[in-house]
Structure 1
Amino acid sequence: MSATTPQRVVLATRNAHKVGELRAVLAPLLPDVEVLTVDAFEGVPEVAETEVTFAGNALLKARAVAAATGVPAIADDSGISVDVLGGAPGIFSARWAGRHGDDAANLELLLAQIADVPAEHRGGAFVCAAALALPGGTSAVRTGELRGTIATAPGGSGGFGYDPVFVPAGAGRTLAEHSAEEKNAISHRGAAFRALAPLVVQALRDGTLVPPIHG
């Protein structure tokens, strides 16, 4: 790999937090990798998340961005899965209350839905699927999960989304009460990206990507 011409991957997001997390995962493995966002390219379309699984949506976005940019693309889809709700909100996590990205409304609705559920049945998990797609069409996906319980009220001022009500197993405090470093070390997204990293290494070094698609 040339020190003057870094290998590039594009992250199918405009979320700076995700870019920073992926860079942190890849840096020890490929210090010369340049992690870009879709903002670095012109004409990259917004990709509607029309699949019914995290893996399906992640693959959909990665394939579309790889095709549009000609650069290996990584995408993720994630959310919270609550046991007593049959795995919901799931892929609808970001718009559970009806409007995409309204964290306060999503939290309020989720807590109301399980208000009468006792502590021993408030289990759930954050789930993330991270996908890698090459411009030629080959793709793969890896998943990460963080088990825990749903608190009865929000706690902490860090994080975003459902972090204020999610208590990782054995932690005794919500994700919003963890530092960014602590959260990244245990998070579902970090786990998925770390699982995907060896495939990124392979793809950038020899231009191939070996199935399986899921794993």
Structure 2
Amino acid sequence: MKKLILASNNKKKIKEMKEILKDLDIEVMSLENENIDIDVVEDGNTFEENAKKKAKEIYEYVIERGDKDFIVLADDSGLAVEYLNGEPGIYSARYAGEHGNDAKNNEKLLENLRGVEATDRTAKFICQLAMFTDQGEYFKVTGEVEGRIIEELHGEGGFGYDPLFFYEPLDKTFGELTSEEKNHISHRGVALKEFKKVISELL
């Protein structure tokens, strides 16, 4: 069976992706599953540059060790707030300075939007997927979902900015959604559904 290597060390992100991809006839593996201890420096200027760099470095490593019959998939995601000119954008995971500190990142976002009217708090989550096949073919997919940033955290689910991202159609924040609800409508869910079409043609 062909394997799909997720070029990420983010356990919550990997869990989401595995859930969404579970109906594909492919073995989904994390870097940890594959004993790959590589932390790719995300120094690109766009989500695509970062995602492509992550996918390419892992692809090159796996090719070098002699693997065959695999696909490498990387994801770079973030939140873009219109009022803040697209911030935090590609710096979403390290907005407050420390990589992956959700509490501090949310705190900084709320501080930067203090006093801003609800109508000006529109935002979107963006997920950029980049993929390399074992033949070196490159594919990319983007998924987006629109919402707005509320003034305080709501919900214990999800991760990152989920408890602040209010999704109007369901009248809930991403932090209040079940994993099934979130995977159905989220930026990552949207991108992975498109990606599944691409991968199905490769299997």
**TM-score of the pair, normalised by structure 1:** 0.86
Mapped pair 1:58 → 2:51: yes
What aligned pairs does 1:2-21 form with structure 2 within 5 A after superposition? 6-21=1-16
Gaps of 5+ in 2: 64-69
% of aligned pairs identical? Answer: 38
For residues 32-91 of structure 1, give each alpha carbon's deviation from its aligned partner in whole angstroms, at most 9, with x where no partner exists.
x10111123345522111111111111111111112113310010001000001111000
- Is 2:24 the counterpart of 1:25? no
3-state SS of 1:145 partner: strand
Aligned mates of 2:129, 2:193 — CA distance in 1: 9
Q: Partner amino acid for 1:60?
A: K
1:12-39 residue CA offsets vs partner (Å, 9 max, x unmatched): 01334333333333333x33x1011112
Amino acid in structure 2 at the alignment position of 1:78 = S
Aligned partner of 1:113 in structure 2 is 112
- Partner of residue 60, structure 2: 67
Q: How far apart are 1:147 and its partner, in Å?
A: 0.2
Q: 1:36 to 1:43 in 2, by over 3 A?
A: closer
State the partner residue of 2:66: none
Residues 153-172 of structure 1 show CA distances to partners (whole Å, capped at 9, x for unaligned) of 11111111101111013232
CA apart distance, 1:180: 1.1
The answer to whether the 8 Å contact 1:126/1:147 transfers is yes
Q: 1:141 and 2:140 equivalent?
A: yes
Work out whether residues 67 and 135 of structure 1, in 8 Å CA contact, stay in contact via their aligned partners in 2: no
5+ residue gaps, structure 1: 1-5, 206-215
C-alpha separation in 2, matches of 1:202 and 1:44: 30
Is 1:36 matched up with 2:39?
no
For the Cα contact (< 8 Å) 2:78–2:89, is it kept in 1? yes
- Cα 1:81–1:65 change in 2 (3 A) is same
| Greater Cα offset, 171-180 or 40-49 | 40-49
SS at match of 2:172: coil
Alpha-carbon spacing, 1:72–1:167, altered in 2? closer, same or farther (3 Å):
same
Equivalent pair of 1:80/1:93 in contact (CA under 8 Å): yes
Q: How does 1:1-215 map to 2 (within 5 A)?
A: 6-28=1-23, 30-31=24-25, 33-70=26-63, 71-203=70-202, 205=203
What SS class does the counterpart of residue 192 from structure 1 fall into?
Answer: helix
For 1:43 and 1:127, the matched residues in 2 are separated by: 26
Aligned to 1:209: none
Q: Give 2:19's aligned amino acid.
A: A
Distance in 1, matches of 2:79 and 2:21, equals 25
Residue-pair matches, total: 197
- Alpha-carbon RMSD across the aligned residues, in angstroms, is 1.6
Q: Which amino acid aligns with 1:88?
A: E
**Contact 1:55/1:130 (CA < 8 Å) preserved in 2?**
yes
Given that 2:20 and 2:183 are in contact with CA atoms closer than 8 Å, whether structure 1 keeps it comes out as: no
After superposition, the Cα gap between the structure-2 partners of 1:126 and 1:133, relative to the gap in structure 1 and judged at 3 Å, is same
Look up the equivalent residue of 1:65 and give its one-letter code.
I
What amino acid is the match of 1:17? Answer: K
